[in-house]
Amino acid sequence: MTTNMILAEFHSHSNYSFDSLSRIEDMVATCRKKGISKLAITDHGKIGGSIKAHQLAPDLVIVSEEILTSEGEILGYFMTEEIPDGIPPLEVVKRLQDQGAFISIAHPFDPWRGSSWNPGTLESLMPYLDGVEAFNARCRKPIFNEQAGEFANEHGLAWMVGSDAHTLPELGRAVLKLPDFYTADELREAVKNSSFEGELSGSIVHLHSTIAKVVNKMRHQ
């Protein structure tokens, strides 16, 4: 029996995030064009855009969120309820576990993007985690990803990767090739047979996010 292998993008942002201008319709079309079969739209502190995208393309989009805790950021996949930013990490992972979500840590060792984990916190989250983002294409220094990969290996967690795409051209910059999946439990099995494809995006992408922040702020004035 031949396993259907696909490409999956596990970290992306739509214009529902304050630092992106990407419309969900355009994200779906871009992924179709690039041969990406699963797309996690992980907007900051919101799942509204992800839900709408899932309704538009249920075979493609995974309802997800990037949650800024009081220390660092956590990624939840196959979510059913939004979790607000700013609450303690342990409470976040417990809420995600109650939803049956697949749980990962976003760029855990990148100090330039909100990762300020207190000593021992990540270790305390181990019973709840399914994976660690071992490669994030927006990390400015390779060492941040190398540390994340070492941490994942040390604790026996799945290697998750993501483009952290805030613009359409970034989609697919870092993906996993793995067996197709439709639920959180199926994803937990699929990542056991995954391989990584990707490269760093370069510093210019951060300028695009800065522009998006300004544009979105002006729109909401």
Confidence of residue 219 (pLDDT cuts 50, 70, 90): confident
What's the pLDDT tens digit per position in 197-216? 889 887 666 565 666 666 66
Note the pLDDT of residue 208. Answer: 57
Note the pLDDT of residue 1. Answer: 43
Note the pLDDT of residue 113. Answer: 74
Per DSSP, the residues of the chain read ----EEEEEEEE--TTSTT----HHHHHHHHHHHT--EEEE--BT--HHHHHHHHH-TTTEEEEEEEE-SSSEEEEES-SS---TTS-HHHHHHHHHHHT-EEEESSTT-GGGT--PPTTHHHHHGGG-SEEEEEETT-SSHHHHHHHHHHHHHTT-EEEEE--BSSGGGTTSEEEEEE--SSHHHHHHHGGG-EEEE----THHHHHHHHHHHHHHHHT-
What's the pLDDT tens digit per position in 62-98? 999 999 999 999 999 999 999 999 999 999 999 999 9
Q: Are 205 and 166 in contact (CB under 8 A)?
A: yes
- Whether the pTM exceeds 0.85: the reply is yes
Note the pLDDT of residue 188. Answer: 98
Between 191 and 207, the more confident residue is: 191
What's the pLDDT tens digit per position in 111-170? 887 678 999 999 999 999 999 999 999 998 999 999 999 999 999 999 999 999 999 999
